Structure 1
Amino acid sequence: MIVLKFGGTSVANAHNISKAIDIVTQKSKENKLAVVVSAFSGVTDLLILAGKTAAAKDRNYKEIINQIDKKHKEAIDELIPLSEQSDIINTINSDINLLKTLLDGCYLLGELSSRTADMIAGFGELLSSQIIALALKQKVSNTGFKDSREVIKTNSNFGKASVDFTTTNQLIADYFKNNTHQVVLFPGFIASSPDGNTTTLGRGGSDYTAAILAAAVKASVLEIWTDVNGMFTANPKIVKQARPIETISYQEAMELSHFGAKVLYPPTIQPVLKDRIPIFIKNTFEPEAFGTLISDHPAEGSNPIKGITHIDHIALLTLEGSGMIGVAGSSKRLFEVLSNENINVIFITQASSEHSICIGILTADADKAKIAIDKTFETEITQNRVDPCIVEKDLCIVALVGESMKNHQGISGKMFSTLGKNNVNIRAIAQGASERNISVVINEKDVKKALNTLHERFFEDNTKQLNLFVIGVGNVGEKFIAQIQQQKKFLKEHLKINLRVIALANSRKMVFDEDGIALNDWKDKIDQGEKANVTDFIKRVIALNLRNSIFVDITANYNIANIYDQFLSQNVAVVTCNKIACSSEYSHYKNLKNLSRKYNAPFLFETNVGAGLPIIDTLKHLIASGDKINRINAVLSGSLNFIFNNFSETYSFHDVVKEAGVQGFTEPDPKIDLSGVDVARKILILIRESGYEMEMEDIINNSFLPKECMETTNNKDFFESLIKHADHFDSLLAEAKSKNSRLKFVASFENGKASVGLQFIPADSPFYNLEGKDNIVQFYTDRYVEQPLLIKGAGAGAAVTASGIFADVIRIGNV
């Protein structure tokens, strides 16, 4: 015999019920079947609500009854031929009238006893099973119906009764000994007490009903039919990459179901375990899918982890104090008081010093538990030997489950380091001696990040998903997005990095998509996006709380540069080509670096100096290896180098500056480049990264611009001033030629002093032949004394700047 169980979504409506009936019909051709069904989807919740509403003396319970009645009558109309509806409608009417009577009593008395609550809640399965049995009979004529209350007996613990297996197994065996039906349909969830009152087996108890039947008849297999393809490696609603587990042991399945895998009710496995009856979890809507097989000998794989699961709404209770050390019975008293209050303990950890005991319970029980514990330990608390019970709420438990974990070293370490890298704080840890489960308590707000991070670490071949939030989609930003599109497939296949752009913003619009923005039409999406608001952008990034989040600033905006701390303090990495933050007050720069270390959030700004050239990265390696920077000479402005390399008697200074802007070599405000401010920022950043403390005003800026040019307030006036002072620039060029030199804007640092300014570079200088928009940097160090370490290459342009930003993003992916 095979036992099948169909859950609430499988019998949610007539369409779904028809699919379930097709499965039963097909299987009944070769096997005798016992079929257990749940209430129609949502009905049990309505029944519970009706009971509470009536007990609260709210007449709206009558409207709820009408909803329930209507739902079942509609199913009858769609599933049962009109000619055969009379008897089933009478049966449903009779049950609904009994339900009304019970609820009327609750209303009159203004109370809802646990016994009455059980009886009310059980109507869902009773109604659905009778309708489905008759509908099934249209396809399998030899179909019978059996009220589970007649064969499953429990104690009188209403709400979650315990099964009397001795009596129950005998009743089930006796029934099937004389059964002649090919298919027998049972309502799940309900049973009866010794005196015949309806009891229930707990929410999800229909699985348990099926397991009880399977164990009693020694079924060849128990099939649980639901709306997913089996048990998953994680909750697929939270972890999109989660996949079905094909085979799993009974013990692993119990651990996963206990820790929140809702596809299986935790007590289900116990009845079938003794006889090793396999359990199949299948999808009603994809019956051809394999699903999950729970058995004694699951197939072994290379991954010792079978699944990651969690329990929401957990409170952590801590009892501690010197009065517990060496005192026998403290733990007994603690757990005894919780047992007396009917509070289930989900999680336990105790320090070896016996100074404290930490337990996890459902948040709903936390206040009651604290009152009871403080009362029990009142004497010790009064004498200051034990502290009052500490309660922490808004927590959840995340657990790794796997039978083979005990045979693999370092699983715990990988789990903790993975969470730590994403700034997920672990409040408590528990690991049983069997090493089948490693559990941690974390903040509830971090559960999505934690599950995705752990799943990525243990199930996705170490593929790291990077979630980008990009502000600035102008010239450089557009090139950056194009590079992501071009390299996305390569990165995933060869570097195991999955790049997703979650948000894009410019000065006018912003767009968010938690599943990743499709980049083939990103311009249209941002045009259709919501109004840009920096405050809202920050809030959205933080609220999403995605793993490996990276804020990418591709602007030259002062206000944007001032929000980095808000991201870093939330474990969101920052990648920026915006030089303002790192060249601001030293205290601000230092704070950003400290936040980066404190919250394990990378702060990378390679493109602040030299665009895509590895200048800052090289500098960091020198310092990290113990070298010391003593002197820096550099041409750090690709735009100024381009301008002075192209400025000639036939190509005016005004025209070449214009062309530099068109090429994307200058800032939007070209005066920032020509005034020397941009170069000063760059040398300041190199000085600070070398380990020296310096402010912007400490750098001597020998500007070559006339005063009138410097005092302009907009680009139009600035360019007009360049024309007006053409003779000044021409004279600089003539002087350089007379000295057989070339004009270069040079930045220098030595002996704690720094300066920037235009210099006449002689022919024997390595700076003389610097062409186009190239940059060059010379580092004189303790190791590079006579011959400096030299870095040279293209130091401006949208494409190379975008590539530098892209490289910083990849650096984070490789951490």
Structure 2
Amino acid sequence: MIVMKFGGTSVGTAESIDSAAKIVAAAVEKQTQRDSAEESPGVLVVVSAMGGVTNTLIDAAQAAAAGDETPYRDARSQLLVRHQVVAGQLIEDGVERAGLGRLFDNRLREFERLCRSITVLGELTQRGLDVVSGVGERLSAPLLAAVLRANGVNSQFVDAGELIITDDQFGNANPLMDATPARCRDRLLPMMQSGVVPVVTGFVGATEKGVPTTLGRGGSDYSAAILGAALDADEIQIWTDVDGVMTADPRIVENAQSMEELSYEEVAELAYYGAKVLHPKTVTPAVESSIPLRVLNTFNPSHPGTRIVEKTRQLHHGVKAITAVRELRLITVAGRGMIGVPGIAARTFDAVARQRANVLMISQGSSEQSICFVVPEA
């Protein structure tokens, strides 16, 4: 069984959605031709919001909190038209299109009502922002499922809020992996065993009480890894707009090349330190379940991309890739009163932890007069 995740650029236009649907259809055909006796059944798809949609939703909600109602009203109408136009271009069945149109309208009316409430309150909480942020995936997933059906693939939309159970750290929720796998297996395996391809919303989950949460920006990769680990997938594929993991940012380095193979450890470091191909947390569920990852290009599907495994086949002692982290701050805690005083470092980082700040680097002088650490900008 394979998990196929498609990012925002891979579903940003009618043409890219059509390409993604054809890639899924080919994978389904390939899976059905295999001897499935030794493999889990089928194909599972995870999808992000259409490119730019999440930013539009967040900007509109923030404007609503500031008392401006125009952006969320404009966003509702623009997003409704955008999704309906794509459906009209890719789906011939009038009944199917009408059903999708009603779903889009209902989802966006809910978004509009929420923004109206935000305007009245004059406040956008992180919990409210999670509800707003996940609307895009709840539009794109049923759209892609319908396009797959139009391409002859038996497919059904599934909301990840029914599958991925998280804590209540809104904006960057953590999956509860003691409860999530059973929920995923109970909901998804019967569908897949009957030949249905589930299309699951990326990026989102829900608490045990059913309150919507998100896994952090770019969290659809993480969703795919969580679901892949829960279902013991044979491979997790991340479909994006580049030919795998590159040696450098191709927007900056003209001769950047894709790498054939990386280890979990290598790609985790690259993701953590700024490489945008994978969400930094994506690798963890794959490592724990020893599931290989592959990063592929939706717009160049014949390219083999980059395979990410526990241990690479070749030793490579040179530098493999270069990346950079932007928008950081260096903080220095210094003073003669720190010399020889036990527990200074513990007290410093306890204060940092209470602010839920992520420390990327730590340095302390041998004189013990200072501690330096690097954190992302607030």
Confirm or deny: 8 A CA contact 1:191 1:198 kept in the other structure.
Answer: yes
In the other structure, the counterpart of 1:71 is 82
In the other structure, the counterpart of 2:279 is 265
Task: Give 1:294's aligned amino acid.
Answer: I
In the other structure, the counterpart of 1:202 is 216
Counterparts of 2:237 and 2:24, CA distance in 1: 11
Task: Give 1:9's aligned amino acid.
Answer: T
In the other structure, the counterpart of 1:425 is none
Q: Secondary structure at the match of 1:176?
A: helix
The yes-or-no answer on 1:156 pairing with 2:168 is: yes
Q: Secondary structure at the match of 1:282?
A: strand
In the other structure, the counterpart of 1:2 is 2
Counterparts of 2:113 and 2:260, CA distance in 1: 47
Counterparts of 1:285 and 1:339, CA distance in 2: 42
In the other structure, the counterpart of 1:100 is 112
In the other structure, the counterpart of 1:355 is 369
In the other structure, the counterpart of 2:98 is 86
CA positional deviation for 1:73: 1.5
Confirm or deny: 8 A CA contact 1:50 1:65 kept in the other structure.
Answer: no
Structure number with the bigger relative contact order (C-alpha 8 A, sep ≥ 6) is: 2
- 1:671-719: per-residue Cα shift (whole Å, max 9, x none)? xxxxxxxxxxxxxxxxxxxxxxxxxxxxxxxxxxxxxxxxxxxxxxxxx
Q: Secondary structure at the match of 1:274?
A: helix
Confirm or deny: 8 A CA contact 2:167 2:175 kept in the other structure.
Answer: yes
The yes-or-no answer on 1:176 pairing with 2:191 is: no
CA positional deviation for 1:156: 1.3
Counterparts of 1:194 and 1:171, CA distance in 2: 11
Matches within 5 A, 1:4-403: 4-31=4-31, 32-61=42-71, 62-83=73-94, 84-179=96-191, 180-363=194-377, 365=378
Q: Secondary structure at the match of 2:331?
A: strand
Counterparts of 1:124 and 1:9, CA distance in 2: 13
CA positional deviation for 1:182: 3.6
Counterparts of 2:128 and 2:263, CA distance in 1: 38
Task: Give 1:72's aligned amino acid.
Answer: H
Counterparts of 1:140 and 1:358, CA distance in 2: 58
> What is the TM-score normalised by the length of structure 1?
0.44
Confirm or deny: 8 A CA contact 1:20 1:284 kept in the other structure.
Answer: yes
Confirm or deny: 8 A CA contact 2:142 2:156 kept in the other structure.
Answer: no
CA positional deviation for 1:70: 1.8
- 1:54-111: per-residue Cα shift (whole Å, max 9, x none)? 0100122211222222211111111221512111111111111111110110111111
Counterparts of 1:80 and 1:149, CA distance in 2: 27
Task: Give 1:307's aligned amino acid.
Answer: A
Confirm or deny: 8 A CA contact 1:144 1:181 kept in the other structure.
Answer: no
Q: Secondary structure at the match of 1:349?
A: strand
Confirm or deny: 8 A CA contact 2:25 2:153 kept in the other structure.
Answer: no
Structure 2: give runs of 5+ residues left out of the alignment: 32-41
- 1:446-475: per-residue Cα shift (whole Å, max 9, x none)? xxxxxxxxxxxxxxxxxxxxxxxxxxxxxx
Of 49-58 and 354-363, the range deviating more from structure 2: 354-363
Matches within 5 A, 1:576-615: none
Task: Give 2:16's aligned amino acid.
Answer: N
Shift in CA distance, 22/337, structure 1 to aligned 2, threshold 3 Å? same
Counterparts of 2:76 and 2:155, CA distance in 1: 29
CA positional deviation for 1:240: 1.2
Q: Secondary structure at the match of 1:185?
A: strand
> What is the TM-score normalised by the length of structure 2?
0.94
CA positional deviation for 1:146: 1.4
Counterparts of 2:195 and 2:216, CA distance in 1: 29
Counterparts of 2:316 and 2:66, CA distance in 1: 56
CA positional deviation for 1:304: 2.6
Task: Give 1:8's aligned amino acid.
Answer: G
Task: Give 1:48's aligned amino acid.
Answer: I
CA positional deviation for 1:141: 3.5
Task: Give 2:376's aligned amino acid.
Answer: L
Task: Give 2:154's aligned amino acid.
Answer: N
Task: Give 1:147's aligned amino acid.
Answer: D
Runs of 4+ in 1 over 3 A off after TM superposition: none
Counterparts of 2:153 and 2:243, CA distance in 1: 30
Confirm or deny: 8 A CA contact 1:148 1:191 kept in the other structure.
Answer: yes
Q: Secondary structure at the match of 1:315?
A: strand
- 1:732-764: per-residue Cα shift (whole Å, max 9, x none)? xxxxxxxxxxxxxxxxxxxxxxxxxxxxxxxxx
CA positional deviation for 1:275: 2.1
CA positional deviation for 1:349: 1.3
CA positional deviation for 1:303: 4.2
Counterparts of 1:301 and 1:332, CA distance in 2: 38
CA positional deviation for 1:299: 2.8
How many percent of aligned residue pairs carry the same amino acid? 38
